[in-house]
Structure 1
Amino acid sequence: MVTMDLRRLRLLRELEERGTLGAVATALGYSPSSVSQQLSVLEKEVGARLLEKAGRGVRLTDAGRLLALHARTLLTAAEAATADLAALAGAVRGTVRAGGLQSAARRLLVPAVARMMAEHPQVRTEISELELEQALPGLRLGAVDLVVSDDYDGHPRPRPGGLRFEVLHEEPVRLVLPARHPLAGPGGPVALSALRHDVWVASDVGTGHHDMVVGSCRSIGGYEPDVRHHSNDADVQLGLVRAAGAVALLPALAMPAVDPAVAVRDVAGQRFGRRLVVVSRDGPMPPAVAAFLAVVTDLARGLDATSPRDPVTRPGPRRRRGGG
């Protein structure tokens, strides 16, 4: 009879998903040699060669890929059994690992941690600032329980199988210009085509925000934008608008209430919007994760009432003659 350790099967699944022993080690906090040793033990347990050399690394053999497929089923079943037992006992305890982009972490995840501490003190919550692309391997493998991501009009995210996507909040995306910009004066919407010679700031390459900025300038404005600055931090993006004269497309949650150094305008002839989406694994959800998700969902309902008004350019205070 073959006996297989679920922890070693998880390592095999991690290797299938992440591709290298180094990536598995980094994700789990092990050394690459420890991961290699545990997989060697798994090979002895099943009596088959699971890994083979591939250049300077390793790859799964046919037997390794077959076992990884079964490992996925076994690990999912074990996770479901744990969730069902916890639900049967009525216990809300355990660890919740959640991630999200900056604005979601600030407005939803941090307040959710405070609520969970008060309402479910036996639940440990761990929060990370993550883009969906970073979080997908962990979501699939169970290292991350849920992620709050975003989805922009005209630039939908992929929807990998085995994951659940639920919309939490919808908000407008608008142009942010330095107050001294020629198009920042009083007036209506601004055409993207009028900004073809401007310097842009966007999130890092590969993120949904970067794809939205570049794709919109290409499809609506008819040009390749000069995205000279990159930051996933909305405050840094706003700082570059104020100090460096860059232009940006930002969602409402990233805006300050009032900022005399910037002007906010709609995009002419186009509706821009963003949805905050919570992503989790399909299947039974442990009570602690379900409780955290319920809190996040409740907080999202209040975003419309608590979001800052659209920032406007306001003249600075007049100086009083004579000083003092």
Structure 2
Amino acid sequence: MLDVRKLIMLRAVAAEGSIAAAARELRYTRSAVSQQLSALESEAGAALVDRVGNRITLTPAGITLVEHTERILVELRAAEATLAGDDLEVSGLLRVGVPFGEGPRIMSKALTEVRRRFPRIEIRLVATTDSTGAGEVSRGMLDMAIISRFGVARGRHTEGLREWVLSHDPLRLCVPSSHPLADLELCSAADLVDEAWIMLPSSPLGQLTTTLCAMAGFEPQVAATVNDVGTAIGLVGIGWGITIAPEFTPADSKLRIARIPMSNLDTVRHSVLIVRDGEHLSPRIAAAIAAVRAVSAVRRAAPEPD
């Protein structure tokens, strides 16, 4: 019978692309991972990896085995969660990944309720990003994550993960309330040629903004670049420039910001909750999922004012 621990090593090598990277991820030595891979190939009776220099790719047999591994791990996690459900006192560490400019407002009320019901749960908030959150959950670095997707609610299917779409909000042009455009009911990109921009160049939102300006025939004049949409909104509020952000992105109540619909911009931001399949049955994770979804449902019905 194949050893699950060796299968996990093969899965890590497939995800990381090299034995050295997989060893770091699993906290093993490189030689230990290499030896276990060789042993797994002997047990399977087939070559599972192709070694080319320091890079490794999976053979067709290796790909098939990793696909089975994902399903095996889902069942094992579900079994562990079922056993944990027999314990009347829910406890343990809950690691929650959030993009810190947006996540805490969604998560804080939900996790406060989890803490009230299950005071022995330790909650750890961990900074993550839209591009890394799903991978961190898949590798077991986080128990759950909440991320944003622009345009498409569902990402590429990842074996071993479960997702719930929590909310949808359109993108808006954000300007100071004293700005000449603040009273417009609709704005076009062509109206923004001479404006100073707060940009998020490394994010899908920043890339979308750059594309929108290019389609209008100009390159945005950048006043500042930031990594977080909440920070961008804050800089708009103190008059540094304008930005494009999801409508429900919170802002400091002291800041006066106008959010204006834009023509030719119908992209929607989707907030998505991600957990590992099987672990969603764990009492602490199931409680958190239910609370986050309930808070998000209330928020959709009656969005909080800035």
TM-score under structure 1 length normalisation: 0.75
C-alpha contact (below 8 Å) 2:19/2:33 kept by paired residues: no
Say if 2:281 is the partner of 1:285. Answer: yes
Matched with 1:83 is: 81
Q: What letter is aligned with 1:234?
A: V
Answer whether contact 2:23 2:33 (CA < 8 A) is retained.
Answer: no
In structure 2, the residue matched to 1:194 is 191
Shift in Å at residue 178 of structure 1? 4.5
2:97 maps to 99
Residue aligning to 1:18: 16
Identity value in percent: 25
The alpha carbon displacement at 1:106 in A equals 1.5
- Is residue 301 of structure 1 aligned with residue 305 of structure 2? no
Give the match for residue 147 of structure 2. 149
AA aligned opposite 2:134: L
Q: Quickly say closer, same or farther: Cα 1:126–1:39, change in 2 above 3 A.
A: farther
Which residue does 2:250 correspond to in 1? 254
Question: Does the 8 Å contact 2:199/2:232 carry over to 1?
Answer: yes
Structure 2: 5+ residue stretches without partners: none
Give the conservation status (yes or no) of the 8 Å contact 1:104–1:148. no
Residues in 1 aligned to 2:68 and 2:58: alpha-carbon distance in whole angstroms: 14
**Does structure 1 residue 67 correspond to structure 2 residue 65?**
yes
Q: Is the 1:234–1:254 Cα contact (8 Å) retained in structure 2?
A: no
1:303 counterpart letter in structure 2: R
Q: Which secondary structure state, in structure 2, belongs to the residue aligned with residue 245 of structure 1? A: coil
Is 1:238 the counterpart of 2:233? The answer is: yes
Correspondence for 2:123: 125
**Structure-1 separation of matches of 2:34 and 2:75:** 21
Alpha-carbon separation, structure 1, partners of 2:221 and 2:24: 35
Kept in 2, the 8 Å contact 1:191–1:269? The answer is yes
User: How many Å apart are 1:291 and its aligned residue?
Assistant: 0.7
User: What is the rounded CA distance, in whole Å, between the counterparts of 1:259 and 1:238 in structure 2?
Assistant: 9
Q: Distance in 2 between matches of 1:215 and 1:167?
A: 26
**Aligned mates of 1:258, 1:273 — CA distance in 2:** 27
Q: Give, as a single letter, the amino acid of the residue that structure 1 aligns with 2:271.
A: L
Rg (Cα) greater in structure: 1
1:203 aligns with 2:205: no
Q: What is the alpha-carbon distance in structure 1 between the residues aligned to residue 50 and residue 142 of structure 2?
A: 29
Q: Is the 8 A contact 1:3 1:46 kept in 2?
A: no
**How big is the shift at 1:271?**
5.3
Shift of residue 168, structure 1, vs aligned partner: 1.8
Q: Residue 53 of structure 2 corresponds to which residue in structure 1? A: 55
Distance across 2 between alignment mates of 1:103 and 1:58 = 37
Number of residue-to-residue matches in the alignment: 299
Shift of the 10–199 alpha-carbon distance from structure 1 to 2, 3 Å rule, reads farther
Are 1:132 and 1:147, in contact at CA under 8 Å, matched by a contact in 2? no
The residue type equivalent to 2:73 in the other structure is: L
Structure-2 change in CA distance of 1:93 and 1:215 (3 Å): farther
TM-score by length of 2: 0.78
